[in-house]
Structure 1
Amino acid sequence: MFTRHHKVWPKELPKTMTLPKTSVFTNLEISARRYPDHTAIIYYDTRMTYQTLLDEVEALAGWLQNNGVKKGDRVLLYMQNSPQYVISYYAILRADAVVIPVNPMNRASELEHYISDTSATVCLAGVELAGFIAPLVGQTYLEQVVVAAYGTYVRQPTDLNLPAEVAAEPQPLKGPGLISWEDALNAGNSPAEHTAGPEDLAVIPYSSGTTGQPKGCVHVHRGVMATAVHRSFWNVTSVDSVQLCTLPFFHVTGMTGSMNSPIYAGSTMVIMTRWDRDVAGTLIERYKVTGWTNIVTMAVDFLSNPNLKNYDISSLVTIGGGGAAMPEAVARKLHTLTGLDYIEGYGLSETMAATHINPPDNPKAQCLGIPVFDVDSRIIDVDTLEEKGPGEVGEIVSNGPQVTVGYWNRPAETEAAFVEIDGKKFFRTGDLAYYDEDGYFFMVDRVKRMINASGFKVWPSEVESMMYQHPSIHEVCIISAPHEKRGETVKAVVVLTPEAEGLTTEQEIIAWCKEQMAAYKVPSMVEFVSELPKSPTGKLMWRALQEEEWKKQA
């Protein structure tokens, strides 16, 4: 067991933690029983109590079961942050089913993959996204889509600037298999007894694959419970804590830090559907927000707001996140304004968020943190698997209660993702790092070919596989390019077919990509070349192209 970090472990916390042997849904049930009238959600100045939240979860779970959803069935959740997202997530778990969180930016080919891979027959979707998923009803496994209009949960007057998706008036639904949110909730269905336990399937977030299509990271209730409980204790969260929820709930960091952990503690979630730094400042001041989990680019945008001086943000007790290293100058500005350090952490879809977090009282800058409760992390040689010592660079491998049990329907990839050390299975993260004498881990590079654009992970092979569907593309190589705000962005180097040469433009390729894939995967630049560099064995030399691009931009 890696224990080097115990010398800097938070003094008020135990080094091991006994987890509840209940389902994640039970956390909501218990909080509603303890604090029925306490505010669970504040949504653009409209409050929802824990009792109301539980009642609506029960009603939707009843509808799901009455419409054929059985224990272990997968249900797509395709929404932006909203009360309906929280209700949907917990209703799926209440029905003993499995949440398939879908990035709201995903489009046609990505949605088809989720449906075919999980055999999902039901999707819970935001109204602004229904048009992308509705055409798949009857053409795939999908049979029904419950459509929610976020604005129907803004029931009190508000002076806040509402996002377009929230301000929009509900529209009548047209098409087979589409059911309104209200009709599903008001159907009068009650769910059967809840039977899911710690080892039953709970959530399958998808991680973009290194070899094509995204793969589902299978998490049982025990693993999802682990990060919810860990986060609550690490941040010293109580029923009176107030969490600003700006990270998307479909992503494991937002799911854990901004939804599951507050519900476990019975605290309040202040939910934003879209990021707006002025609305965030108002909400922090108005509702005395105590905690805010974000990504670095969001924190940088917030702290660069010229109107920031107009907001009282002194209620903040914890602020932190990840996605990229926090710039030192921005961290200093945060500390000057609030007296707080930005607490960085590290985790993956495969680990249901954090395996490492900086100690709140002793953080290090631009650092992944130390292994949290019951996590055993090592640094190993990528090829020999030999364990490394302090200061030596190698791949991070982790063992802990939150680590995935495997990839959905991919036994070979599951087996390749783990290595045995000291009789324990360790997950191979694909990230190169080292730890110092105090047990803090620091990122160095990636073993795998991946682009990190503002915290969104883009796997080039996945984008390439989708772009090969374009009739004008003969060959394509996806590389990263430097970007002032995002850190790095996506660039496509394309060889056109002979028929398309001189007729197809970069803009046409980009426009086509926007229809086929999530916005953060779409190449912001396209360069046409006559051929791509290849090794003597015919292997694409992507790294040479990428290094050339970064040198050119520098």
Structure 2
Amino acid sequence: MIEEVQKYWYKSWPEETPKHIDYKKMSLGELLRETAEKYPDSEALLFKGLRMTYRELDTIVDRFATGLAQLGIKKGDVVAIDMPNIPQYIIAHFAILRLGAVSNPILPVNRYVEIVHQINDSRAKSLIILDYLYEEYLNGKDLSKMESLDTIVLTKLTEYLPKVKAFLGKLLGKVPTMKNWPKRIEDIEFKAFQATLCDEEEINVPNVEIDLKKDPAVLIYTGGTTGIPKGVKTSHYNLIVNAQQTDYWASTQLERMNEVKGKGGMLLVVPLAHSYGNIGMTVAILEGWSNVLIPRPPENLSKLLAFVKKEEITFMPGVPTLFIKLIQEPECEKYKGKLDSLIACICAASPLPKEVKTKFENITEATILEGYGLSECSPVVSLNPFKRTKINTVGLPLPNTEVKIVNIEDGVSILPQCTRDNCEGVKYNIKPKSISRFNKRIYIYSTLIYWRVYIKRKSSKKRILVEKIQVIF
């Protein structure tokens, strides 16, 4: 560990949570397999009424992995996924990982130019995309611009809808779909998602040796608000450790966490293609919870609370905008005292207004926990303690995580006066990320924030830079 990093946060550390963890070492594909063996009949995902158990999910992932292998996907190949929060995303993601290939999520709002950039920059060999998104952003465009691409796999929303909903959706035109799928355009071959799935008796997933710390698992693109998006390689170890850190933080502080293993639910409104949604999905699978998929938030957000009540949702990650709009719905009040299943909500991306936190917690009787993270850190860096949250703060670094606070003027000198107890508020001011290697560790210079530092009874606001050093790299 870096000797000069003084762990001030230990002064406020929750007693029930150990400061260090012995991590379970496994690939993400093995994580799903282990959960399927432990909780085979537990619900793995819920989408518009369709329910799938962990046994079923594990099998269909193997079927799709076999199909991808037959298309020529092998260890180290990059496969892009362009979909909203639908079952095909989770199936494709874990199938790619089982092959030792690299999952490369594309945000479903990305248009032609952004998709071309990400495909070329990542050297993606295949693209798995919702047909509606293909028709909207790629149909009729010059696909030869995506030089590394040789296969596009198309899928429909209706493929994993209950039959009645799928039929009525198509009949009434409420489910967007592309009528005519191409078979080949120049050098790019088109395949159907369902045709790529092999029969169950034909499952033959190649045995692949995965170096957990060196082999990339997910290539997340980030930084698009400050320039051209850059790909961040995260290994199997990065992500499995961060999921365990997040689980450990919750399960050691909340007794209810151990009661709902194998039977809880993670409401995923945040995009799976974002690092925030990606880790939410990974934590849900670690816990044996259902991934409750919301491809698009309803216009009346109080319906989310109705869903929480009906499906006994356990956790709900979100951003301030979601919680702000949610409490503005008059109908939310009627759910007060009726959401016993909801343990907590995680809020990140920007500070949450105090009045929003107070009203939401009053309605749901669940804690909103603010935290901080970034894609380069897999992504969760810090969270507030569950039993002692402090509004508009990023909380404490997770176990085995170090944070150094340095002066922004030189980026080197440490501010020893800034203890956790003296930090009152955080504001965000985006600064381009840069990564440099030093002593085989990775230092991430990320978001500029403001801490109020108290020195000898006189207050002074200093601009500082958070430097994140995490042992999982």
TM-score where L is the length of structure 2: 0.81
- Match for residue 271 of structure 1 among 289, 293, 297: 293
Residues 223-255 of structure 1, C-alpha deviations (whole Å, 9 max, x = no match)? 111221122222324222211111100111111
Partners of 1:32 and 1:47 in 2: CA distance: 15
Equivalent residue, structure 1, for 2:427: none
Equivalent residue, structure 2, for 1:171: 179
Amino acid at match of 1:345: G
Equivalent residue, structure 1, for 2:15: 11
Amino acid at match of 1:261: V
In the alignment, structure 1 residue 96 sits paired with structure 2 residue 123: no
Partners of 2:164 and 2:302 in 1: CA distance: 18
Partners of 1:203 and 1:165 in 2: CA distance: 35
Partners of 2:401 and 2:248 in 1: CA distance: 15
Equivalent residue, structure 2, for 1:418: 436
Amino acid at match of 1:179: K
Equivalent residue, structure 1, for 2:469: none
Equivalent residue, structure 2, for 1:222: 237
Amino acid at match of 1:148: T
Unmatched segments (≥5 aa) in structure 1: 394-412, 438-442, 449-554
Partners of 2:105 and 2:353 in 1: CA distance: 31
State the Cα distance separating 1:444 from its structure 2 match: 8.3
Equivalent residue, structure 1, for 2:417: 390
| Segment drifting more, 30-39 vs 191-200 | 191-200
Instruction: Give the SS at the match of 1:48.
Output: strand
| Segment drifting more, 179-188 vs 55-64 | 179-188
Equivalent residue, structure 1, for 2:356: 330
Judged with a 3 Å threshold, the aligned counterparts in structure 2 of structure 1 residues 184 and 435 are, in CA distance, closer, same or farther, namely: farther
- Alignment check: 8 A CA contact 1:45 1:157 kept: no
Instruction: Give the SS at the match of 2:291.
Output: strand
Judged with a 3 Å threshold, the aligned counterparts in structure 2 of structure 1 residues 165 and 108 are, in CA distance, closer, same or farther, namely: farther
- Match for residue 213 of structure 1 among 213, 228, 231: 228
| Segment drifting more, 188-197 vs 343-352 | 188-197
Judged with a 3 Å threshold, the aligned counterparts in structure 2 of structure 1 residues 136 and 51 are, in CA distance, closer, same or farther, namely: farther
Judged with a 3 Å threshold, the aligned counterparts in structure 2 of structure 1 residues 156 and 287 are, in CA distance, closer, same or farther, namely: farther
Equivalent residue, structure 2, for 1:143: 150
Partners of 2:12 and 2:417 in 1: CA distance: 16
- Match for residue 32 of structure 1 among 18, 33, 36: 36
In the alignment, structure 1 residue 315 sits paired with structure 2 residue 330: no
Equivalent residue, structure 1, for 2:282: 260
Equivalent residue, structure 2, for 1:486: none
Amino acid at match of 1:113: H
- Counterpart mapping for 1:400-479 below 5 A: 417-418=435-436, 425-434=442-451
In the alignment, structure 1 residue 194 sits paired with structure 2 residue 220: no
In the alignment, structure 1 residue 121 sits paired with structure 2 residue 148: no
Residues 481-526 of structure 1, C-alpha deviations (whole Å, 9 max, x = no match)? xxxxxxxxxxxxxxxxxxxxxxxxxxxxxxxxxxxxxxxxxxxxxx
- Match for residue 300 of structure 1 among 320, 324, 337: 324
- Alignment check: 8 A CA contact 2:405 2:464 kept: no
State the Cα distance separating 1:267 from its structure 2 match: 1.4
Instruction: Give the SS at the match of 1:178.
Output: strand
Equivalent residue, structure 2, for 1:552: none
In the alignment, structure 1 residue 249 sits paired with structure 2 residue 276: no
Partners of 2:387 and 2:393 in 1: CA distance: 14
| Segment drifting more, 42-51 vs 129-138 | 129-138
- Match for residue 54 of structure 2 among 23, 45, 50: 50
Partners of 2:305 and 2:242 in 1: CA distance: 27
Amino acid at match of 2:208: H
Judged with a 3 Å threshold, the aligned counterparts in structure 2 of structure 1 residues 153 and 278 are, in CA distance, closer, same or farther, namely: farther
Amino acid at match of 2:436: F
Judged with a 3 Å threshold, the aligned counterparts in structure 2 of structure 1 residues 305 and 202 are, in CA distance, closer, same or farther, namely: same
State the Cα distance separating 1:158 from its structure 2 match: 6.8
Count, aligned residues: 421
Instruction: Give the SS at the match of 2:209.
Output: coil
Equivalent residue, structure 1, for 2:458: none
Partners of 2:124 and 2:209 in 1: CA distance: 21
- Alignment check: 8 A CA contact 1:77 1:124 kept: yes
- Alignment check: 8 A CA contact 1:66 1:189 kept: no
Instruction: Give the SS at the match of 2:132.
Output: coil
State the Cα distance separating 1:379 from its structure 2 match: 0.8
In the alignment, structure 1 residue 184 sits paired with structure 2 residue 196: yes
- Alignment check: 8 A CA contact 1:379 1:434 kept: no
- Match for residue 359 of structure 1 among 369, 385, 395: 385
TM-score where L is the length of structure 1: 0.70
Partners of 2:463 and 2:349 in 1: CA distance: 14
Partners of 2:321 and 2:69 in 1: CA distance: 41
Unmatched segments (≥5 aa) in structure 2: 252-256, 421-431, 455-460, 467-473
Instruction: Give the SS at the match of 2:330.
Output: coil
- Alignment check: 8 A CA contact 2:43 2:263 kept: no
Amino acid at match of 2:195: D
Judged with a 3 Å threshold, the aligned counterparts in structure 2 of structure 1 residues 361 and 55 are, in CA distance, closer, same or farther, namely: same
State the Cα distance separating 1:392 from its structure 2 match: 8.9
Partners of 1:180 and 1:426 in 2: CA distance: 42
- Alignment check: 8 A CA contact 1:149 1:166 kept: no
- Match for residue 204 of structure 1 among 207, 219, 222: 219
State the Cα distance separating 1:194 from its structure 2 match: 3.4
- Alignment check: 8 A CA contact 2:80 2:127 kept: yes
Partners of 1:305 and 1:434 in 2: CA distance: 33
- Match for residue 350 of structure 1 among 371, 376, 380: 376
State the Cα distance separating 1:341 from its structure 2 match: 3.1
State the Cα distance separating 1:37 from its structure 2 match: 1.3
